[in-house]
Each structure stands twice: as structure tokens, then as C-alpha cells.
Structure 1
């Protein structure tokens, strides 16, 4: 009796329920709300809903969407379709899965020695490429038949049963770009300096980049076969930049070589191995592989392919992986000789085929246990990237410096200085490094002469630095990159202003800034001299526009500001113009300035005051 009455009791509310709500027949059997993770495929989604695949596909088509059954879904599309079936989805964040991608605690017992990874840096024409070729030719064994040497961005060299990996990306730009993306690629930097040319601007830049990354430097003094070679002078100039030879009591190994004559190469390689022994480089060979994308390209025959430098673990054919916002499975592995291999241990450069899209150089490559999980994490990352494009890790700016200091986020304020002359760069550097603050140390990580270029912005991105320009301008590429990366560039004409701004920022007294907005850049293509007017510049507007109502116009020659003044007249043919847009020609005269030359860049700007924010 109790049982039947219970059944009746159970049946009644059920019938009431169906009266009040439009029959959600598909959800009734489900005890709980289906949990959906981004990256679930259409087929898996149909199973999750308990619906037939053709019915789910039909619903997608009704919405004008034509997915394949193995296509990953995002949360928005899944929710719309689920609601069409009368089902409410619970979106499960894959955020927790990111923990899987974090570097796990290293078990020291499982570590074995690995070959060192070396990047060659130096000034243009000092012999970086010649050295790479010489090392490679001396050490490349006769290849097997059918093996084709191909450029995969890195290669291994054998020396007495030991190996060294050389990254075939000469120059510090690529090195810093990877560091900016969080990749720790290089163990040792070989700095090539020509004995007949000594230390040059790019040499200093390379030293600063290597120091910022905290990587040991071995100096290869090249071209010692030339009669005008002066090794002592090179060592002396390097010592001024805190790269001191061991025989002088420093900690930098220096080797005299001639890449052309193949002189001293064996000694250089031996010293690289010696430095590697001091670093005690080890990796776990038995875990899931992690690596870095050195370079990537779209191959006609193989599709998207990327060179992965394996940092730890062993990479095998068939491994599911994730790189940034893309995931896939390793279809094939090729070594630097183009030969197929089945696995790649730590410190091995290997070409991976199996990317659904071309990955970004410098991205971290992580092997996952489960392809589905890799796909879901990739999907979540893509979704985040779309929604939080602006929310990338904000770089430090002078405006928010004091708040960051108070929050204890900052211990070092890194600064890059670019100036029109060496004396100014040194003066600004000395003045800034003499600033004292109880909690923050001011560090000038790079100071040099010339305009602000992309290399400077990449170094600032990697080191979370502020760029201070003294009497110079950023070129247009550097300016666009700085905006994209959120790097703070401050431009000054007076030394005490630059130092004063940093000092005030440290003390939290920085006044509301007057922001400068560049309206446009024009190139001087012709000069006309009229006796009563002066020099008229025949110009072409390269970008933006030039306007009479602007705050001012500056004349830039070789990235250095020659003059800063106001527009006296602006004409299109013979008519006065208020403004001239990109792609048009115009005539400009500048107040009290006639020394305009063909090839000068005129930069038109307005000053906008940014009001103080009330918290």
C-alpha cells in the first residue's frame, strides 16, 4: 500500500510539471546538467546532449553554420544549440587544465646530462655566418644516400662523442623575440667580434641582450689572420662593457679564431663544452616532451611545419601536442638532414609535421597525454585571446610605476636609453643610475646612439623596460610595435627633464601627462627656394595626415630631430589647405626654418592633455 501511494504521489507532480512547462522530454532522463568544455567536437557534443548526430547537424545548419563532425565547438555556439533542444549546459572552464602545462617539480634523480644549446651573436660582417658554416662543414659527416641538407633553424655538431646544438638564427633580434615570448632557448652565447674592427654598436647590443637574459658569454675573436688584427684592443674595449677575459681576472672565456682559415674552431668547441660542464645542463629523458618553436613555415609538400627544439622529455611520432592556440598530433619527425626519425631526445632540433596551422616562432610546444584535452585547452586559449586581446600582460609605464612599487610588484626599474650622441646617452645613464629609492633599483639595461628601432622595443618587451629617447624618434615600425606590445616610450630634449620624470614617478609625484599624438609623417621629395618666402618642401604624405591646426611639426633626419617648430603654410598645388591626407602631395613651409633637405621626414603632431584620474 505504501509503495503504490508513493508511486501516485510521484506521478502527480510529474503531470503538473508537464502542464506548466513545454515538455522538455530530452532533459528529463538526465539527473544533472551536461557539462561542456570548450574544444568538444560536434560528435562528442551530440553524445553529451543524448541526441542523434544528424539532428544536431541539422540544428547547426538552420543557424547557417556548417561544421564537420570533428570540428571543435566554442561555448556560445554550443549553448544556442543546447537551448534549441531544451537543454541547459554548464560550461566547465578548462582553466584548471592549464596547471598540466605548468613546469612540474623536477625530480633530480631522473635527470641526465644534455647537450648545450648555443646562439651566435655579433655585429654585421664580423663573421657570424662564416663561423656557423665553418663549424658545420668541419663536423658534418658524410650523409646517407637520400639525405638532403635542409634549413631547419638549428643543427647538432659532434665533438669527441659529445654534442653541441647551434641555433642557426644569427643575431640578437630573434633571440630576444623568443625571450619576450617566455622561451628560455639558449644556454650559452658565442659573441663574435672581428679583431680588425673591434667592438661595434651591435656588439654592445648583443652583450646587453645576453646579460638581460642572464646567459654566459664566450667571446670568439675572429679574423685574427688579418694583418691589421688587434686582439688586445678588442679585449680592452670589451672590458669597458663588463665583458672581461679570464686571464684579466674576469669570468668570460675568450678564444682567438679565424672562421675563414678554420683556425681555432676545435678549441672554441672544447671551451663551449667546458662552459656547459660548469653549467651542469641536465634534462629528464623519460617525461612528456616540452620544447620551443625555433622557426615555422608553410611547406608545399608537408603543409604547416615547424622546427621544435626539445628542451626536456623525448618527442615521439604520434604524440598529441599543444602550441599556443593550436593543437595536433605529430605525424612525422625529420632531423636537420631531412631524414625521418622516430623520436627526439632533449636538446634536439627536429622538424615536426602535423600542425593544423603555422605556429608562431618562440611559442612553447607541449606534449599532452590526451589529444582531446589538448584540443580543449587550445580552444579555451583561442577564446581568451579573442576576448582579452587588450588584456595582455601590461608593461610597466611611468604613470603606474608608483602604484606598482606600493603593491610590491617591482624591485627593478629597467630602462633603455637611446640618444642622438654618445655623450648624451652616457650622461642620461649616469644620472638615472645615481637615483636612489628604498625599494626600487634603477637599472639601465641598454644605452646607445641612434633612433628607437624594433630591436629596442623587443628588448623592452622581454625585460619589462621603459624606453627613454633623447633628441631622437622611434621609426614607424618601432612605434607600431610599441603600441601593440604596450611599451612606454618617453621622449625628451633636456636631460634633467628625463631624470626628473623618472624621479617623480618613483616618488608618485608624476604630474598628469601631456600625451603627444602623431597625426602623420611626410617625406620631403623636392625643395623650392622662393626669395620672399624661404624654403618650400615638396612633400608626399606617407601615413596619417598633415594639418595646419596641429601643435607643431618636427624635422627628422636619420631618426634624429633637427628642428621642432610650427607649420607656416600648407598648400595643395597653389591653393591653401587645412589638411592633406595619406597618398597626396603638398607644399609645406616651416616657421623660421629653411635648412630642409630631400629625404627628411616631417612629423606632424598634436599635444593632448590627459586629465588626472580621481581614484
Structure 2
């Protein structure tokens, strides 16, 4: 018997998928998991009869019921006392399945991260009830799992209170009083979905974006579109979708690291002729860490070697099971080249957005996130903003991170000058005092003086934080953080030279979990430690363990800047022993590795009775005659040894600095190749300090 999908039937009846799912359950006791679920054609015909003119009684009754509850909700809303500090969510209390009793406290002061159990204790509510509220906002967390301030704030608002950061953001209440002053109304206005496209290199992300842009934007604009900012809006059947044109998961993670959750839906692009690749796996991990819905676009289905079922099979290994395989992940076969499946993909985005019920309050002052910032010689600091709530107007005074200003001009994604912009709309603005960073939050304030004072206070806090010791988790301070209760879960990123080693290290590490701390591998992969790994570690407060691999130059620089600990090992048991000792508080580091410099092999000479001589160029730092060396080939360690000789021309040299050429040979190792990188290092003894 033929079957009909929920969203197709809803479209035919001109009702929302959510409403149809409710009618199915209430009238026919049919439980539909989501809009992609299917029902028998016989049941579909009965539904059509109920919605037909002959049986309009159901619709009339439904409308009367809806109106009745809307009137009740409005009456309740009118009774709510609006607090000056923008206390919100009272009108959500007392109705619906996720109703909760309001708490007595008006303000709840918490740390930047808090465990679910501690949050429940603070609210004086059972932790099971708090977990239930987290599930309603789309966050799956256990009793001992930590959640960030933004997530805890949403839960606290459901109990009718205002969440405030403790100590580290003194003056936050005063700031919120000004910023949230007119946030009296609940979010009732529908807002467009914000979509980010992610995936592996050369799987067609850019082609897919170009295809959507040309078919849905450019064709409606005279002279085409000037794509000069990092986002644009598409109109589909009267509905809007905002696409973020970002460099994939790197920008995505950088924003999440600053606490900015701006993406509502992620499109994961996978090539049908290539399947899941390392960067695809990284993208999936980023999406899961941010708890964002994923729609998989299986691209390049027009290629000869395309195999859609193979891609779906590989996706199951990462917990993404396609709808037609009994799962809940939407998979859409598309071709950016022939434009096949593009309309279906856009339709799936709209339906997913409908199920998410994305709402905003267009009447309040605007707030949102910076997508990118730059300095223009003629116009000064420019910032591309994505409005997440409220309406932004020309002339508004705003604070953005630690900078401020008054909006002198505002442009949409087509370069057209505009005066106002609502929720989920990207705009470029002029008038800031300095260039903001991507991921910074912005808020509209009542006047420019308020914005300036708040910006100066934030700069003072940043200077103070700069002089304070970093609180990143490391092997040396792990035990202390466990004792203080600030670490309940140790996040680890594992990189190794081969997949077998990755799995061995991963499984061994996860077995080290104890009652006090759980060891969780948040990402693993084959190859050198990259900048992406470091950014993910910084966002997740994790450490990186490399087995037979080394960090590249960018990764080392970013790791030092972000205070992310990168530990590299040649023997798996050393890694396990170090983490065991760190968890027990017995780790006593004796030596610290200091990298002196990196040398690139440019030419190879074979000399009889001597061996292989490498004609080399010192890229960074220096190389000394008594330094230890390791040979890296494509980021993987080939060997570790010492220098047998170091020469400048025909003369022996004690050291050779960056920018100079040299000849060298390695003790008991002759398998050198052009392009190999030689890393020179020494081991410095760390003297124990009295506490």
C-alpha cells in the first residue's frame, strides 16, 4: 500500500507539519516522530476528509479552541509584572508540557559554566526537572555534565528569573538593566532560519552556495548580486533563509568558543563519489558539540562513480541515520552542476525551521553577533552583523565586544542602503570606534554614553584577565581542578600517524575514566596536529595528544596563544601513564621540550664512506650541532636522533640561524628525501618549585 510523508500531506492541506502531527495523535492515536514520517494512504484520505469543507466542524472547533487558549494566554500576559531588568518568560509559565513553577529569586548568580546538579541545587528544584527543561531547549545533558552560561540562562529564564555571571563580570546586572530594559514582550515573531554549509574540501560547498545564490537571488536582482559580506538572504515561496558564507567549521568553532551560537541549521555537504572524509568527520563533531540540527546534502550525484547508499552507510558510523533507513537525519541527493535536488534541499530547510519554531521579538532593541570585521581606508571600521533578536535602526547606539559606536549607515547583503533590519537579517554597518572580532556579541543601548562606559569597563576586565593566569586544563593542573570540582570531564583530542593507533589510543584513554572525572575523546583523526584541532580544543577546554605526529607551524602558534596543551608521544603507554598520574595528582614533569628551529631539506647528496648529506635551508629559529632532531615527512615523525655533522659550506658549524643554508647528516639514518622537515630541539630540565 502506498505511503504519504507528513510534510507532503501538510503542504497539500495548507497547514503546518506540527499541527498535522498533533491532529494525527489526538484524532487517530497515530504517533508521528517528525515531519519526514510516513502514514498509510488510507489514513491520509481520512485526514483530508476531516479538513474538507463537508467536515469543517473540526476546523471550526480547532479554531475556537486555539482562540480560547490565545485569549487565556493574553489575559495571563497582561497580569505579568514587567521587571525593569527585562525579566522574561513569566508568560510561558503555567501552560504546556514544559510548564514549571516560578522560583522566588529575581536574580540567580552563577559561574560561566555549571553542572546540571549544581544548577538544580541553586534553583532548589529536582535535577530531573532541570534535565527535562534542558531537553525542551534541545540540550541533552546528564546530572554531572557541565553546561555553559548561555544554556543555563535559558533554563533560569523559564523559572522567571534573571541569570547573572558571578564576579568575573562585575557590573553585568547594570549592563543588562540598560540592554534588556525594553525586552518586556515575549518572542512571538517568526524569524528566518540561519544556515551554515560545512563539509570536506572539494566536496562542493562553494558550488552549492553559488547554485543557490544564482538561482534564488541573482535572478531576481538587476545586474546580479555584489557579494561583499559574509552572509545573504534567500526568498523561497515567501519564506526567508539566511545563509552564512563562512570558511566552514573553523569560523563556526571560533564563534562557539566565544559563546556565540548563531547557526540554527547546518547543511553537511558530502560528495557521493567520495564519501566521508576527515574534514567531514570534524564538521560532524563540531555540529554535535554545538547541538545544531544537521541536514546532509549528498552532492555530485551526476558523477559516474556516485553511490548515495554508500554515503548513507558511512553516515551511520557517526550516529547519523537517514530518514528512509529508519533514522531522523534528513539526507537530500543534490547536484550543484545540474541543479537537481536544490529545490528539495531548500524545502527541507524550511520544514526543519518550521519544526524548530524559530521565534524572535522584533519590538525590542537589537542584539546579535559579529560575522566579520575589517578596516576600510575610506570608510573606517566596518562590521558585518547578524541580528538574532530585535530590530536594528540607523542611528542606534551599540556596544560590540569591547568597542562601541553609533550606526551612521547600514547596508544589506546586496549593498543597498537600508534604515532598519529585523531578526536573522545580515547587515554591514559604519560608525564603530574600532574593528570588532568575529563572534563578538552586540547589543543596542539607550545612548552612546552608556555604550562607551560599558566598552571601557569591558576593556578594563580584558586587561585584568590578560594578567591573570590562564585557567585552561593541562596535565600539570588537572588534579587541582578535579579537587576544586571545576573539571568533571577531561576532553581529549587524539591524532596519530595511522588509524589503528588512533583507535588503540582512543579506547585506552576512555577506559581511564573514574568516579571523579570522565575521559572523553571529543575528536580523533589521522595526520599532523592542525590549527583546526587547536581551535576545537580551545572551544572545548580539551588537551591534544599526538602519537607519532607533530603540530604544524600554525597549530603551534595558535596553541601557544590559546594556552592549549599539546602533548606528543612515541609510545602509547607513556601517554596513558601521564594521564593516570595527572588524574592522581602525582605527575611530576622533569623535562620540557624546547623547539629550536625547523629545517627544510632541499637537495640530497650520497657520499661514500660517509652516508647521506642533506643540503638544507633553515626556515625558522636555528639548528645547533648538539641539538636532538626528528625527521618529519608530511607531518608524521619518521625518526628521532642526533646530528652526526653540521656544516656551512666546507666548515663545521656550531649553529646555523634562520635564512641560511647548511649541510647536515643524521646519526645512523640515511633515508632522507627532498622536502622532509627536520625539527631541532633540546630537552630543558624543569626545576621543582615550592608551593
TM-score bin, normalised by smaller chain: 0.7 to 0.9
Alpha-carbon distance in structure 2 between the residues aligned to 1:387 and 1:381: 10
Structure 2 residue corresponding to 1:158, chosen from 220, 235, 240: 235
Equivalent position of 1:277 in the other structure? 354
Aligned equivalents of 1:231, 1:137: Cα separation in 2:
26
In structure 1, the residue matched to 2:416 is: 339
Structure 1, unaligned stretches of length 5 or more?
A: 1-92
Aligned residue number for residue 604 of structure 1? 680
Matched, 1:554 2:630: yes
Aligned to 2:643: 567
| RMSD, aligned CA | 2.2
Higher relative contact order (CA 8 A, sep 6+): 1
Residue 245 (structure 1) shift: 1.3
- 1:25-44 to structure 2, matched below 5 A, reads none
Greater shift in the superposed pair: 596-605 or 148-157:
148-157
Aligned residues: 522
- TM-score, normalising length: structure 2: 0.72
Structure 1, 204-213 or 385-394: larger mean CA deviation: 385-394
Map 1:61-80 to 2 at 5 A. Answer: none
- Among 369, 376, 385, the alignment partner of 1:308 is 385
Cα separation, 1, equivalents of 2:173 and 2:224: 39
Q: For 1:486, which of 563, 571, 575 is the aligned residue?
A: 563
Instruction: Give distance in 2, aligned partners of 1:392 and 1:344.
Output: 41
Which residue of 435, 438, 442 maps to 1:361? 438
Q: Which residue of 2 aligns with 1:290?
A: 367
Corresponding position: 1:265 with 2:342: yes
Pair 1:464-2:579 in alignment: no
What SS class does the counterpart of residue 331 from structure 1 fall into? strand
Q: Deviations over 1:102-141 (max 9, x none)?
A: 9969867344322111100111111111111111222227
| TM-fit CA distance, 1:392 | 7.1
Equivalent position of 1:592 in the other structure: 668
Contact 1:94 1:377 (C-alpha < 8 Å) held by counterparts: no
Map of 2:576 onto structure 1: 499
> Contact 2:367–2:387 at 8 Å: present in 1 too?
yes
Give yes or no for the alignment of 1:100 onto 2:175. Answer: yes
Q: Check conservation: 2:217, 2:225, Cα contact below 8 A.
A: no
Pair 1:445-2:522 in alignment: yes
Of 536, 545, 552, which aligns to 2:622?
A: 545
Distance 1:280 1:154, change over 3 A: same
In the alignment, which residue of structure 1 is the partner of 2:193?
116
d(CA) in 2 for partners of 1:392 and 1:295? 29
Q: 1:441 to 1:281 in 2, by over 3 A?
A: farther
SS at match of 1:596: coil
Task: Give how far 1:234 is off.
Answer: 0.3
Indicate if the aligned counterparts of 1:98 and 1:377 stay in contact, CA closer than 8 A. no
Give the distance between the partners of 1:124 and 1:146, measured in 2 at CA. 30
Answer whether contact 1:245 1:251 (CA < 8 A) is retained: yes
- 5 Å-filtered alignment, 1:525-544, equals 525-544=602-621
**Cα deviation digits, residues 150-200 of structure 1 (max 9, x gap):** 321111112222211110114211111221222112111100111111111
Equivalents in 2 of 1:393, 1:443: separation in Å? 22
Deviation of residue 521 (structure 1)?
0.9
| Secondary structure at the counterpart of residue 183 of structure 1 | coil
Distance 2:484 2:169 in 1: 30
2:312 is aligned with 1:254: no
2:228, 2:415 within 8 Å by CA — same for their partners in 1?
A: no
Distance 1:196 1:147 in 2: 32
Q: SS of the counterpart of 2:522?
A: strand
In the TM superposition, what is the alpha-carbon distance from 1:418 to its structure 2 partner? 0.8
Q: What SS does the corresponding residue of 1:538 show, helix, strand or coil?
A: strand
1:568 offset after TM fit, Å?
1.5
Length-normalised TM-score, structure 1: 0.81
1:327: how far off?
1.2
CA contact (8 A) 1:512 1:611 kept: no
2 CA distance for matches of 1:447 and 1:101? 40
Structure 2: unaligned runs, 5 residues or longer:
1-167
1:473 to 523, 534, 550: 550
3-state secondary structure, aligned to 2:232 = strand
